[in-house]
Structure formats: C-alpha cells, structure tokens
Amino acid sequence: MQINFTLNGKALSVDVPPQELLSELLRERLGLTGTHVGCDTSQCGACVVHVDGASVKSCSTLAASLNGATVTSIEGLAPAGGLHPMQQAFHEQHGLQCGFCTPGMVMSAVDFAKDNPKPSPEAVRSWLEGNICRCTGYQNIVASVIAGAAAMHANAKGA
C-alpha cells in the first residue's frame, strides 16, 4: 500500500507491503542503516526512532501504519555538520563503546529529556529499561543523558 510520511524532514511516498516493519523499510529499502536490530523480541531498543516526536521501537512498528506521520531516525537528529546536544553529551561522557545500541539509546534519551530537564539518575535508569547496552555498564550512559538533558534545555532557553 502507498503511504505518505515525513522522514528526517523530507516528504516521502513509498509503496509498502502490509507486513513490512519500519526497521526493515528504513534499513533495507531506504538505506538508513543507523537504526539497528539487536533482537527479535522488542527487548533491546537498538531500533528506537521517533514517530511524531515519541520514541518507538521500529522493529515492532508496521510501516503501513505511518501514513501522515513524521519519522526521525538517528540520521535525522543532528543539525547539518554538527551533533545534537544529546549526541554531544554521549561523546563527552563516554556514553558509547561499540556503538551498536547507541542510535537507539540516543533517540530514546532525546524523547525522555524533552520533558525532563534535570532528571535523577534513578529516573534515567528507569526510562532506559527498554534499551540494552552490553558494553558500558550504563554508568556513563546515565551521565550522558543527564548532561544531554541539561544541554537540550539550556539551548532551548538560549534560542
């Protein structure tokens, strides 16, 4: 079926089979391989993208459901030539190692930080329960999300 949606700021019209997942559409057909698939039970969160501003697991979202939606994948988060404040915070706080869970972590964190300018570590940990990282032990991810949230809101105020 034909769907019209906005992906990373651009209007797109694509024909999608009814069973196609958003993760498959992004990775296999649109070449956006920054969205990763780390499991097959919707547990790991490596595939998180934003649909209408909210974080969703693209491995369990049917592409056909996206008609009229606005989708942002990790490739569409940063301003041209730069980093989103959350990406910058992950870099500064060493919030990534192998980088495989990172796109999902960052997308999930941005959604959380929108409404949480000064989150507690416990709140961050609770939010990230759906994103598995095997490398970092989460400590620097928590620090990244706290710093990234502060930076997002500082930037917003400055704007």
Partner 1 sequence: MPDQHLKSAAPVNPTGIGAAIRRKEDMRFLLGRGNYVADMKFHNMTFGVLLRSPHAHARIKSIDTSEALKLPGVVAVFTGDDLLADKVGTLPCAWPVTGKGGAATKEPAHPALAQGKVRHVGDPVAFVVAETLEQARDGAEAVLVDYEELPAVVGVLDALKPGAPAVFDDIPDNVCVDWEIGDKAATDAAFAKAAHVARIGLVNNRLVGNPMEPRAAIGDYDLARDHHTLWTTSQFPHIAKLLMGNFVLGIPQHKLRVVSPDVGGGFGVKQFHYAEEVLVTWASRKVRRPVKWVCERSEGFISDAHARDHVTEAEMALDENGKFLGLRVSTTANMGGYLSTFGPNIPTNLYGPLLAGVYTTPAVYCEVKCVFTNTLPVDAYRGAGRPEATFCLERLVDVAAIEMKIPKDEIRRRNIIRKEAYPYQTPVMMNYDSGDPLGCLEKALLSADWKGFPARKAEAAKRGKLRGIGLCTYVEACGLAPSRIAIRLGVRGGLFESATVRVHPTGQVTVLMGTHSHGQGHETTCAQIVSSKLGIPAENVEIVFGDTDKVQFGLGTYGSRSAAVGGSALAKAANKVIVKSKKIAAHMLEAAESDIEFEGGVFTVAGTDRKKTFGDVALMAHFPVDYPLEILEPGLEEQSFYDPVNFTFPCGAHIAEVEIDPETGFVQLLGYVAVDDVGTVINPMIVEGQIHGGVVQGVGQALFEDCVYDHSSGQLLSGSFMDYCMPRADSVPSMKVETHITPCTHNELGVKGCGEVGTIGSPATVINAVVDALQDLGVTHVDMPASPNRVWRIIANAGGAQPAK
Residue of the chain from 56, 58, 63, 90 that contacts partner 1 (CB under 8 A): 90
Q: Name the E strands within the chain.
A: 2-7, 10-15, 48-51, 54-57, 70-72
Cβ atoms of residues 133 and 109 within 8 Å: no
**CA distance linking residue 54 with residue 43, whole number of Å:** 17
Joined tokens for residue 27: 């990775």
Binding mask 40-69 for partner 1 (x = CB under 8 A): xx-xx-x-----------------------
Binding mask 111-140 for partner 1 (x = CB under 8 A): ----------xx-xxx-xx-xxxxxxxxxx
Angle in degrees, CA 17, 23, 72, rounded to 5: 110
Question: Between residues 5 and 84, which has the closer beta carbon with respect to partner 1?
Answer: 84
Binding site for partner 1 (CB under 8 A): 27, 32-41, 43-44, 46, 73-75, 78, 83, 87, 90-94, 96-103, 106, 121-122, 124-126, 128-129, 131-143
